[in-house]
Structure 1
């Protein structure tokens, strides 16, 4: 994984020796529009492809469009290298493109 500078105001990776980001780095999730939504909307089954996967991504992204913390969610996913699902209105490919363009 390449080293990327986190966007200003975003969460950061856990310090060495900790298995995951610190709890306070996740406080933005308290305001997330998706907190009571089935996570399967954002994480399609591995076998799901084509139009079905695209439709699920469109639905997930539309909810992200109403979310007051979508930027924090997207930034978190980029910084920690999330390789699966829709985060902050972006797919895996979109986040990879954003990370490459800024890194």
Structure 2
């Protein structure tokens, strides 16, 4: 009983639970393989008060993948868009329509 009471009274725990990435229903979006899910996770990050700190922390740690601070990370770097799985284009110079 004391543990539950201290959990609810701890402001750090309460604040963490209000962050979009701590929502158990949305947690899988931040590490999905589907580009649409990653874009949805980025949208959830848009209103987060810790977006800059989260992104910088991920860069400092070299996070291997996922959405951190509203950015998609791959191999420790920020990428603009994650391509879906499948065969790559035959001509890399060809624009995607």
Separation in 1, partners of 2:68, 2:78: 14
Alignment partner, residue 31 of structure 2 = 43
Taking only aligned residues, the RMSD between alpha carbons, in angstroms, comes to: 2.6
Greater length-normalized contact order (CA 8 Å, ≥ 6 residues apart): 1
Structure 1: unaligned runs, 5 residues or longer = 1-26, 99-103
User: Quick check: 1:33–1:68 contact (8 Å CA) kept in 2?
Assistant: no
Q: What is the CA deviation profile of residues 34-83 of structure 1, one whole-angstrom value per residue up to 9, with x for unaligned ones? A: 22244211011xxx3xxxx2111110000000111111111110000001
Structure 2: unaligned runs, 5 residues or longer = 1-11, 80-97
TM-score, normalized by length of structure 2?
Answer: 0.54
How many positions carry a matched residue from both structures? 64
State the shift of 1:88 in Å.
0.5
- Flag the structure with higher strand content: 2
Q: What is the CA deviation profile of residues 10-34 of structure 1, one whole-angstrom value per residue up to 9, with x for unaligned ones? A: xxxxxxxxxxxxxxxxx6x726332
Moved over 4 A (4+): none
TM-score, normalized by length of structure 1?
Answer: 0.52
Once the two structures are superposed, the pairs formed by residues 12-23 of structure 1 within 5 Å of their partners are: none
